A = this chain, B = another copy of it.
Amino acid sequence: MNDLAISLDVHSTTPLYEQIYHYIKNEIQSGGLSCKERLPSSRKLSDYLQVSRTTVNMAYDQLVSEGYIESVPHRGYFVCDLEGLVHIKPSTALNIKEDLSYTSTFAYDFSPHGVDLNSFPHNAWRKLSKNLLMEENRYLFRLGDPQGEPELRATIAGYLHQARGVNASPERIVVGAGNDFLLLLLCSMFGGGMKIAMESPTYRKAYDLFHNLSNDVRIVEMDESGMRVDQLAATEAQFAYVMPSHQYPLGTVMPVKRRMQLLQWAAASAGTSASTDKAFSTGAAAFSGADREDRYIIEDDYDSEFRYRGKPIPALQGYDRNDRVIYIGTFSKSIAPSIRVSYMVLPERLMELYKSRARNISSTVSRVDQMLIAGFLNEGYYERHLNKMRAIYRSRHDALLTELKAFRKICRVSGENAGVHLLLTFTNEMTEEEAIRRAAAQGVRVYGLSSYFVGMDQAQTETYPAAQTVDEHEKRLRADGHYEQAADIGRLARQTVLLGYANLSEQEIKEACARLRKAWLI
């Protein structure tokens, strides 16, 4: 018993069993008790320490359950062989270095990701939230449908049909925490190895996400109508990721004709091309509902709500008669960026695949938030909010266009018909870097377009000639005699900045543009 010189403190707040546990554990860790050594029986130790046997047994149980000692029937307790046991290190200091990208040192920030939150209907939101958190709604804290709350899906279906011409039955809607998550879910359904055609420049997060998940992303050139369908067909891609309502970041609105061509591309089976590649790399057995040769359009309708000329163009999905469009939309842009609620409308033919491969992933949106959004739409708040925001954004849009007239000799404006940003392409010698630097020197932040170009770090030129760097693209256009197009591509890639106006008042826009005149017009 000399080995266990435990001195118990009966006045301590630490229970006696825990004191015994700690003492023996420390002895084992420090080598005071060695491997295979036998411990006193609980009866002996309880006699010795003058505590109950239950107390000793609790300590021993804990040590057994943590694997420090083991109980050998009819023989007693023995120290285990621990092979390099280590102690718990104390946690490092809890300092958080603020990421600099989240702070701004600019007087005026033309962020293309801005959203005006001064008009956010706080009172309505708080009222809806308060009502939902009433005791009788306790069920909202149980796990909900992985596809999303039926009420919210019905509401979204109605809204999408009314506002976007989307054919969406609630059964085919999947609610998720952001577009990025929904794209992850799609990858999970198709199991990686998807051949996805994208534009360049494009929504960079989608590109990175597809690329990181080992999908085969093929870059297809754009013209003034959007993705070139002739090139798309040549890529042998099975998926085309497009933003027909408002291409991000170029702001191109895809005309109906191009939409029809895209739908025709999708309606044809990939099997009709020369391709004999395996479309999905694994889990082929799961594809009972979906033909592995089927083509799909992923329509990202991320900010179709804001449009300044005429009324919104219906979504591509609404024109689809062949059940080939995967439609994705979000409330993050139209309500508030931190509202992480997006939705996806799947084609009927993909529902079986979704159920077998993705429906087991728990919903990423809390039920309270889902019902909040449903209430926000159903009680008319959303419509009022959208109308208000449209008017606000339109005034800012108009104010910015007015101010930009001063720059017409040195640049060209594009992408101004929808969304909450536009593009300035310099027609003088000003490069993107220079424009950003000079604006920054005046306290104004503008954003370069070049970072939205994708696919240039990949050796995709081997697999498909269209997936090339801007340099090569220009070179080829020039070789084919398309000098103006080549110059356009070059200017987009090197001489274009984005100006987002959602988060600047008309007065601020005026002031910021005055500074930009100093920056750029000297």
Residues of B within 8 A of A259 (CB): 67
Asked whether, in the complex, the Cβ of B188 is within 8 Å of the Cβ of A82, the reply is no
- Cross-chain contact B260 with A82 (CB below 8 angstroms): yes
With A340-B365, A366-B369 in contact, is A67–B258 under 8 Å at CB?
A: yes
Known: A145-B102, A177-B177. A338 touches B140 (CB 8 A): yes
Q: Are B339 and A141 in contact (CB under 8 A)?
A: yes
- Residue in B81, B169, B205 whose beta carbon sits within 8 Å of that of A91 in the complex: B169
- CB of A15 to closest CB in B, whole Å: 9
| CB <8 Å contact, A257 and B360 | no
Q: Does A464 contact B (CB under 8 A)?
A: no
B141 and A120 contact, CB distance less than 8 A: yes
Chain B residues lying within 8 Å of A90, measured Cβ to Cβ, are 161
A442 at the interface (CB under 8 A from B): no
Whether a CB of chain B sits under 8 angstroms from the CB of A192 is yes
Chain B residue contacts of A332, Cβ below 8 A: 143, 362
Q: Which of B81, B135, B143 contacts A122 (CB 8 A)?
A: B135
Residue in B85, B122, B211, B309 whose CB lies within 8 Å of A319: B85
Residue A350 at the chain B interface, CB threshold 8 Å: no
A: number of interface residues (CB 8 Å): 129
Instruction: Give the nearest-CB partner of A261 in chain B.
Output: B83
Query: B260, A338: Cβ atoms under 8 Å?
Result: no
Asked if A61 is an interface residue, CB under 8 A from chain B, the answer is yes
Instruction: Give Cα distance in the complex from A133 to B369, angstroms.
Output: 13
Q: Is A436 an interface residue (CB 8 A)?
A: no
Residues of B within 8 A of A150 (CB): 96, 98
**Of B65, B191, B264, B310, which one neighbours A255 at CB under 8 angstroms?**
B65
Binary contact track A405-444/B, C-beta < 8 Å → 1, others 0: 0000000000001000000000000000000000000000
**Set B80, B257, B321: member contacting A86, Cβ < 8 A:** B321
Interface of A is mostly: loop
Tell me if A168 and B91 are in contact (CB < 8 A).
yes
- In the complex, what residues of B have CB within 8 A of residue A115's CB? 142
Residues of B contacting A130 in the complex (Cβ-Cβ under 8 angstroms): 126, 129-130
Q: A122-B133, A126-B130, A143-B113 are in contact. Are A165 and B88 (CB under 8 A)?
A: yes
Say whether A483 faces chain B, with CB atoms less than 8 Å apart: no
Q: Choose one: B65, B82, B256; the contact of A310 (CB below 8 Å).
A: B65
A99 touches B (CB below 8 Å): yes
Contact A257 B80 (CB under 8 A): yes
Contacts of A143 in B (CB 8 A): 113, 332, 337-338
B338 touches A142 (CB 8 A): yes
Tell whether A170 pairs with B96 under 8 Å between CB atoms, given A65-B255, A142-B117, A214-B192: yes
Which of these binds chain B: A179-187, A232-240, A513-521? A179-187
Are B80 and A256 neighbours in the complex by a CB distance under 8 Å?
yes
Q: Per a CB cutoff under 8 Å, which of B113, B170, B283 touches A94?
A: B170
Contact of A401 with B by CB under 8 A? no
A256→B154 contact, CB < 8 A: no
Residues from chain B with a CB closer than 8 A to the CB of A293 are none
Q: How far is the CB of A453 from chain B (nearest CB, A)?
A: 16
Contact across chains for B256 and A68 when beta carbons are under 8 A apart = yes
Contacts of A68 in B (CB 8 A): 255-256
From A126, which residue of chain B is reached at the shortest CB distance? Answer: B133
Known pairs A177-B177, A187-B213; A338 contacts B366 (CB<8 A): yes
A266 an interface residue at 8 Å Cβ cutoff?
no
Q: Select one of B169, B204, B257 contacting A82, CB under 8 A.
A: B257
A339-B319 contact in complex given A157-B94, A184-B184, A310-B62, C-beta closer than 8 Å:
no
Which 4 A/B pairs are nearest by Cβ-Cβ distance? A67-B255, A62-B310, A67-B256, A177-B364
Contacts A/B (CB < 8 Å), 30 sampled = A59-B310, A67-B258, A80-B256, A84-B260, A88-B319, A91-B157, A91-B168, A94-B154, A94-B157, A96-B150, A96-B170, A96-B171, A120-B138, A126-B134, A129-B129, A141-B339, A143-B332, A143-B338, A178-B363, A180-B361, A181-B181, A187-B213, A188-B212, A212-B283, A214-B282, A338-B366, A338-B368, A340-B365, A340-B366, A364-B364
A residues neighboring B (CB under 8 Å): 17-18, 21, 58-59, 61-62, 64-68, 80-86, 88-99, 102, 113, 115, 117-118, 120, 122, 125-126, 129-130, 133-135, 138, 140-145, 150, 153-154, 157-158, 161, 165-171, 177-178, 180-181, 184-185, 187-189, 191-193, 204-205, 208-209, 211-214, 225, 253-261, 263-264, 281-283, 285, 309-311, 313-314, 318-319, 321, 332, 336-340, 357-358, 360-369, 417, 457
